[in-house]
Structure 1
Amino acid sequence: MASLEVLIWSFAATGWTLDWASTVWPNQDISEKNPFVRNHFGEFPDPIRFGVAKAASLILFYILYLIGELLIKASDTVPNYLYDVPTVLLAPLLIGIIGWYAFFHNLRLHLESKELFKTQRDE
């Protein structure tokens, strides 16, 4: 695995993990907003069950990445490289962006709720 692949997959795995951590943050006053997560894991997801699902989905993404890499190399319709970067790396980059976005979204909700409770206590 090339260093760019390691870097991008580390970005994706870190974002995915931070999304998990910020989703199961031990603040019982903030329920999960994502309808998919709510349907499968409830309003307040169990950290272990949700973490196993997040890890399994990341492993599945990696398997699909390997399959995509083989298919792109075997196909002439999709370029193997865009600006000297393997095309298939767009998939884990997208996963990382989604994970990091979800983390910052959840972090914002936690910080806002903390400020809200702080002002309510002060009154």
Structure 2
Amino acid sequence: MIPADWEDCFAEVLFPLLSRLLTGPPISTMDPIGMEEARIRAIQLACKVLLGNLTKITSLKSFPDLFLRLFDLMNQFLEENACSDLLAEVIQESLKNCILVCENFGVFQGPIEGLKAEVSGRLEALTVKHSNSTNSKIAL
């Protein structure tokens, strides 16, 4: 697939899926375990697609926006009252992996260097907000 196809994949499939799972359809009260599993798998899938196609996706002019939108969606899941410890752990681990791979790949250098400052700021706010409840810290 070409980079634009991956951009469309995020815009038309992954982001709407994550947004829908975030708002939670009415069935979530009937099957909270199934909903949690769906959320975990969707987050892991989005991160796997990002990291597995990083070379192509980072060539997109819209990559910083795409990366920050994924970051924001993951943060919204953490802020949700129904976020279990397992879901929070998966989100934090997935986010950490995305950031570490991007850092090692040199994504935060060069033409999109401003992305590192933005991610660092959001990460600091996220860590402060959630460190008390999860007893863990994420740092860039």
The TM-score with structure 2 as length reference comes to 0.27
The TM-score with structure 1 as length reference comes to 0.30
Instruction: Please tell me whether Structure 1 or Structure 2 has the larger radius of gyration of its CA atoms.
Output: 1
Q: Which has the higher helix share?
A: 2
